[in-house]
């Protein structure tokens, strides 16, 4: 550290120039995060010093966390769901597998995940010493449920299905997984970190939530399609008591026990997440999701006119293509299979899509 502090002017000039090195979200087509909704930004600032790790000191903010869980629970057809606000999909997935592992209580537990699962499951299995068994995906990049046979056994602590896969934007057949989970009496976790804030707002949503009797827990991230500030995630469980197995004693806090992974945790993004949902309502969310889906369709149609076929028709706003070159000045990403991947987040407006397609056209003409 410096012996003497620097001037405010010097400090902010340094920080501003460093911040300018960030790419932000301009021409960024690879991110599952987006520019927070202006409401989220304002509310985040309002709750900046709150700590949900000691909820007795911040009962107001803690009640907003409860309300967020209730609202998202209702969105997922279970207003009485248990839950808390995590730091995002990774923490939610780790905590869900912790619950599943404790409930199974066998010497060598395994979890069965689709090959399309996010890498957070690898982290979770490493931390929790779980064997990760991978189910292949079908031609449409959805989990091949028939291939579950032989993978699920007496040591299976959890089956995982994905709603909105990171790479291809696909929704696994959660209804069929729910049947398998019930038949085998296995915990079923749904990773809807991305798609949980998309699918309920589609005109004809496939069932994936607590309406399906086999679903035990769901990850859903307001900091992705919920347009809240980072880090806003949620883990929901069918029964609030499922969290009890994670409780540790917290002698000197205002609450006596806590089940969260993080200790100190900010309420800022949590209040922001609730605020966005309240402000937009179902109607507002439907319209944002409809825009993202329309842009996804337009992008797919436009790319195909350049001889870049879709890898698959996505269930949510993630488009993938057989396409080697991408125009300069744009950030796209690549799937593990080498497909070009574009996430049509809310900051990827229609004019951004059209500008990208124009640049693709020029690239093609060369
Ligand atoms: N589950 C799914 C289905 C996900 O897509 C992700 C993240 C997670 C879990 C983990 O969530 P957290 O990162 O919140 O813990 N998916 C994106 C990814 O890893 C996240 C991302 C966001 C990546 C912005 C890049 C980026 O610029 O690809």
Q: Residue 333: CB within 6 Å of ligand 1? A: no
- Whole-number Å distance between alpha carbons of 127 and 184: 25
pTM for the structure as a whole = 0.98
Q: Residue 365's pLDDT band (boundaries 50, 70, 90)?
A: confident
Ligand 1 near 195 CB (within 6 A)? no
Q: Taken in order 46, 49, 51, 56, is the CA torsion positive or negative?
A: negative
Whether 221 lines ligand 1, by a CB cut-off of 6 Å, is yes
Which ligand 1 atom is nearest residue 231's CA? 14
- The band of 366, judged by pLDDT with boundaries at 50, 70 and 90, is confident
Decide whether any atom of ligand 1 lies within 6 Å of the 316 Cβ.
no
Q: Ligand 1 pocket test: which of 26, 36, 120, 172 has the largest number of ligand atoms within 8 Å of its C-beta? A: 120
For residue 326, the tally of other CB atoms under 10 A from its CB is 20
Does residue 253 surpass a pLDDT of 90? no
Closest CA to ligand 1's atom 14: 88
Q: How many Å apart are CA 109 and CA 128, to the nearest integer?
A: 10
Residue 165: the pLDDT is 98
pLDDT of residue 364 exceeding 90, the answer is no
Atom of ligand 1 nearest to the CA of 165: 3
Instruction: Decide: helix, strand or coil at residue 82.
Output: strand
Residue 246 has pLDDT above 90, yes or no: yes
62 three-class SS: helix
Q: How far apart are CA 99 and CA 158, in angstroms?
A: 9
- Whether residue 120 has its Cβ less than 6 Å from ligand 1: yes
Residue 252 has pLDDT above 90, yes or no: no
Give residue 89 CA to ligand 1 midpoint distance, Å.
Answer: 7
Pocket test for ligand 1, best of 141, 166, 191 (most atoms within 8 A of CB): 166
Q: Is the dihedral of CA 114, 118, 122, 127 positive or negative?
A: negative
Mean pLDDT of the chain: 97
Q: pLDDT exceeding 90 applies to what percent of the chain? A: 98
- Give, using CA atoms, the residue closest to atom 27 of ligand 1: 31
Average pLDDT over residues 84-94: 98
Residue 266 CA to residue 281 CA, distance in Å, equals: 24
* Least-confidence region, from 28-42, 247-261, 312-326, 329-343: 247-261
Element (H, E) at 275: helix 268-305
Contact between 222 and 234 (Cβ < 8 Å): yes
89 lines ligand 1 (CB under 6 A): yes
Nearest alpha carbon to residue 162 among 126, 113, 90, 123: 113
Residue 192 has pLDDT above 90, yes or no: yes
Q: Are the beta carbons of 319 and 299 closer than 8 angstroms?
A: yes
Separation CA 14–CA 365 (nearest Å): 43
Mean pLDDT of 115-140: 98
Per-residue confidence (pLDDT) for residue 151, from 0 to 100: 97
Q: Summarize the confidence of residues 263-285 as an average pLDDT.
A: 98
| Residue 245: Cβ within 10 Å count | 14
Residue bearing the CA closest to ligand 1, atom 17: 32
Quick check: CB of 172 below 6 Å from ligand 1? no
User: Nearest C-alpha to atom 11 of ligand 1 is from which residue?
Assistant: 89
283: pLDDT strictly greater than 90: yes
């Amino acid at each position: 550290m410096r012996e003497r502090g620097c001037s405010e002017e010097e400090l902010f000039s340094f920080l501003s120039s460093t911040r300018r090195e960030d790419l932000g979200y301009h021409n960024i087509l690879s991110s599952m995060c987006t520019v927070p909704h202006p409401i989220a930004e304002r509310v985040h600032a309002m709750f900046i010093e709150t700590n949900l790790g000691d909820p007795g000191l911040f009962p107001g903010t803690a009640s907003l966390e409860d309300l967020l869980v209730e609202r998202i629970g209702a969105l997922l057809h279970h207003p009485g769901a248990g839950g808390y606000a995590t730091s995002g999909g990774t923490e939610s997935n780790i905590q869900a597998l912790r619950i599943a592992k404790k409930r199974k209580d066998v010497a060598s537990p395994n979890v069965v995940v689709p090959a399309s699962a996010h890498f957070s499951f690898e982290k979770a299995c490493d931390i929790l010493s779980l064997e990760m068994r991978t189910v292949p995906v079908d031609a449409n990049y959805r989990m091949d449920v028939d291939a579950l046979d032989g993978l699920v056994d007496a040591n299976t602590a959890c089956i995982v299905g994905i709603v909105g896969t990171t790479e291809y934007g696909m929704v696994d057949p959660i209804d069929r997984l729910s049947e398998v989970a019930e038949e085998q009496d296995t915990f079923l976790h749904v990773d809807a970190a991305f798609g949980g804030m998309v699918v309920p707002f589609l005109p004809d949503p496939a069932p994936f939530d607590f309406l399906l009797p086999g679903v035990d827990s769901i990850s859903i991230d307001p900091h992705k399609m919920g347009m809240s500030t980072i880090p806003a995630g949620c883990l929901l469980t069918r029964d609030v008591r499922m969290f009890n197995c994670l409780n540790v004693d917290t002698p000197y806090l205002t609450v006596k026990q806590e089940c969260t992974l993080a200790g100190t945790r900010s309420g800022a993004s949590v209040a922001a997440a609730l605020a966005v949902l309240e402000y937009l309502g179902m109607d507002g969310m439907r319209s944002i999701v409809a825009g993202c889906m329309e842009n996804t369709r337009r992008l797919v149609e436009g790319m195909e006119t350049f001889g870049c076929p879709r890898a698959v028709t996505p269930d949510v706003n993630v488009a993938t293509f057989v396409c080697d070159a991408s125009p300069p000045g744009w950030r796209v990403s690549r799937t593990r299979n080498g497909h070009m991947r574009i996430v049509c987040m809310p900051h990827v407006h229609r004019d951004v899509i059209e500008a990208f397609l124009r640049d693709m056209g020029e690239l093609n003409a060369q």
